[in-house]
Chain A
């Protein structure tokens, strides 16, 4: 299994509070991704990073920001959490950003976030 951890694994917070989720990898992979999983929507990309300090938006980036100051850490921040951001958040990593049977995205265990 790829060495990816996410913290916290569960969090309950209130509307309007800031929240930061952390993804940590030990694989030295260049690419890191944040997804959210919701019923009826599958997995949707929030933001991704293609190197230290290099990030870009995904399809559902509104209300989220990211930072990557080290290769191994990718942070997702909800500046002011809303109930619509209640979801399960997954981090993923990949080596080249390309795709083959041996190079694809590997996912972390997820963080379940509830915004009351």
Chain B
């Protein structure tokens, strides 16, 4: 049972435009959410996170939005740059576990 879902395996956007990556979760006990970015042949790196007490967190070009009622979060990248091309993993934790539960990832390609 996939508790964290990223339904879009891939996304292609033009440089300078907005990239929106989506993530859905099923466990209502999750209270902390993270996004990791992964380049080929490297380990994932932490990008941005959000607590369930907030509905938005911004860090430079990256903003994460949380809609608790819909159990949905999204990562916005504005403006998108070619160096943003990577796999993005959504992760969640909370409730009975302090472990991270990851989604399957979305491959973002930013076209010059």
Contacts and interface: CB of A to CB of B under 8 A. Distances in A.
Main secondary structure of the interface of A (DSSP, over half): loop
Nearest to A99: B32
A97 B42 contact: no
Contacts of B98: 97-99
Q: How many A residues touch the partner, as a band?
A: 20 to 34
Q: How many B residues touch the partner, as a band?
A: 20 to 34
Nearest to A101: B49
B103 A107 contact: no
Interface string B65-104: 0000000000000000000000001010100001110111
A109 interface: yes
Nearest to B32: A99
A49 B93 CA distance: 17
Interface of B: 4, 6, 32, 34, 36, 41-46, 48-49, 89, 91, 93, 98-100, 102-105
